[in-house]
């Protein structure tokens, strides 16, 4: 091993190509071997002309991309996606900050709390989505039953069929299933902050709020960043919640880019895997732009280089 701790900056070392390949090789092999090839296939599919059966009939050039861009529901879908991603992301980060704090404290029942929080994560999204479909239904939904008997509403609320409530319902469930992951990443971050830092703050006479904003939040930054970046991607690509809660609604009124992509291939009159692949490529580019923008705004390189 040639590299020694002689590095510049914050004490990192420089490494040559051979060493790099040794440490990163397995990861690169997996990524290139398993992810890259299908990604290339996706691009190839997006420039191909397919029959409704999936049979490739020839090259399509940019036709699929054009048809996606000209799709009458595209603007609705994009708007839905922005609302969905922004709302779920913000809600889950904000709530998780509190939740992680709570989970990090020592109290009777903490273990129970930690186990309970893991459950929505442990249950598969497909099942959780189906479960909430039952809970939120107009006729047999238990939530409506509760609201009715508590006198909060006079008639049931059509959470999944009424256009005013569909997106908020999806966002609620989407946030609920995103919380465990986010809270645990933040909890791990909190636990990475050494206790003596707080000790020092206490000596300096900092109030709890000051300690939180001046010490906890800045030190939590790497964890927050990981949680945010990955959540952007996961929420963008979150399929089961949007698809299942929305599957009674005709058309694309409440679809996001990912369910739009799926419906283009299998559920709508377009039934075109080429168009769907083009939408898939757009989806990746969209995520890429959002993530890069976020990384730039949040000074990601500075944070990870530190």
Residue 196: strand, helix, or coil: helix
CB 67 within 8 A of CB 292: no
Please answer whether residues 269 and 73 qualify as being in contact, where contact means their C-beta atoms are separated by less than 8 angstroms: no
Closest to another protein by CB, 11 vs 151, is: 11
DSSP annotation of 162 reads S
Cα separation, 26 vs 32, in Å, equals 10
Among 63, 229, 294, 298, binds another protein (CB under 8 A): 229
Q: Does 267 bind another protein (CB under 8 A)?
A: yes
Pick the stretch among 24-32, 62-70, 79-87 that binds another protein (CB under 8 A): 24-32
- Judged by CB under 8 A, the residue of 63, 198, 294, 298 near another protein is 198
Which residues in the 166-185 window bind another protein by CB under 8 A?
176, 179-181, 184-185
Site for another protein in 77-96 (CB under 8 A): none
- Minimum CB–partner distance for residue 87 and another protein (Å): 19
| Residues ≥6 apart with Cβ < 8 Å to 301 | 295
Alpha-carbon torsion (133, 134, 135, 137), positive or negative = positive
Residue from 147, 165, 239, 298 touching another protein (CB under 8 A): that is 239
271 touches another protein (CB under 8 A): yes
187 is a site residue for another protein (CB under 8 A): yes
DSSP classification of residue 48: E
CA distance 251 to 268: 8
Token pair, residue 119, equals: 């459950």
Select the span of 63-71, 75-83, 85-93, 222-230 touching another protein (CB under 8 A).
222-230
- Angle (CA) 227-231-235 rounded to 5° is 165
Asked if residue 130 lies in contact with residue 244, where contact means CB atoms within 8 angstroms, the answer is yes
The answer to whether 294 contacts another protein (rule: CB under 8 A) is no
Task: Give the integer Cα–Cα distance in Å for 46 and 109.
Answer: 52
Of 37-66, binders to another protein (CB under 8 A) are: 37-42, 44-45, 50-56
Least distance between another protein and beta carbon 164 (Å): 12
* One residue of 11, 58, 72, 151 binding another protein per CB under 8 A: 11
Q: What is the footprint of another protein within residues 87-146 (CB under 8 A)?
A: 99, 102-128, 130-135, 137-142, 145
Q: Is 196 in the site for another protein (CB under 8 A)?
A: yes
Question: Binder to another protein among 83, 147, 156, 298 (CB under 8 A)?
Answer: 156
Which backbone phi and psi does 114 adopt, to 5 degrees? Answer: -60, -40
């Amino acid at each position: 091993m040639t590299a020694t701790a002689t590095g510049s900056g914050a004490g990192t070392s420089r490494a040559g190509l051979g060493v790099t390949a040794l440490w990163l090789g397995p990861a690169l092999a997996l990524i290139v071997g398993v992810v890259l090839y299908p990604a290339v296939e996706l691009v190839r599919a997006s420039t191909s002309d397919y029959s409704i059966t999936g049979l490739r009939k020839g090259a399509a050039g940019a036709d699929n991309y054009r048809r996606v861009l000209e799709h009458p529901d595209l603007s609705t879908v994009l708007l839905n996606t922005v609302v969905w991603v922004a709302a779920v992301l913000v809600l889950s980060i904000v709530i998780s900050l509190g939740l992680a704090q709570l989970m990090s404290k020592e109290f009777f029942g903490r273990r129970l709390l930690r186990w309970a929080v893991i459950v929505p994560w442990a249950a598969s999204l497909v099942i959780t989505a189906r479960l909430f479909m039952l809970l939120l239904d107009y006729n047999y939904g238990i939530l409506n039953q509760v609201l009715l008997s508590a006198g909060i509403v006079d008639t049931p609320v059509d959470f999944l069929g009424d256009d005013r409530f569909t997106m908020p319902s999806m966002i609620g469930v989407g946030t609920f299933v995103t919380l465990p992951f986010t809270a645990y990443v933040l909890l791990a971050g909190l636990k990475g902050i050494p206790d003596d830092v707080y000790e020092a703050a206490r000596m300096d006479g900092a109030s709890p709020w000051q300690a939180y904003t001046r010490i906890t939040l800045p030190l939590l930054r790497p964890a927050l960043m990981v949680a945010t970046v990955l959540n952007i991607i996961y929420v963008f690509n979150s399929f089961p919640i949007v698809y299942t809660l929305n599957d009674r609604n005709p058309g694309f009124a409440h679809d996001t880019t990912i369910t739009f992509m799926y419906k283009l291939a299998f559920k709508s009159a377009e039934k075109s895997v080429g168009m769907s692949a083009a939408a898939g490529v757009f989806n990746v580019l969209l995520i890429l732009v959002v993530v890069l923008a976020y990384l730039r705004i949040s000074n990601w390189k500075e944070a990870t280089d530190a």
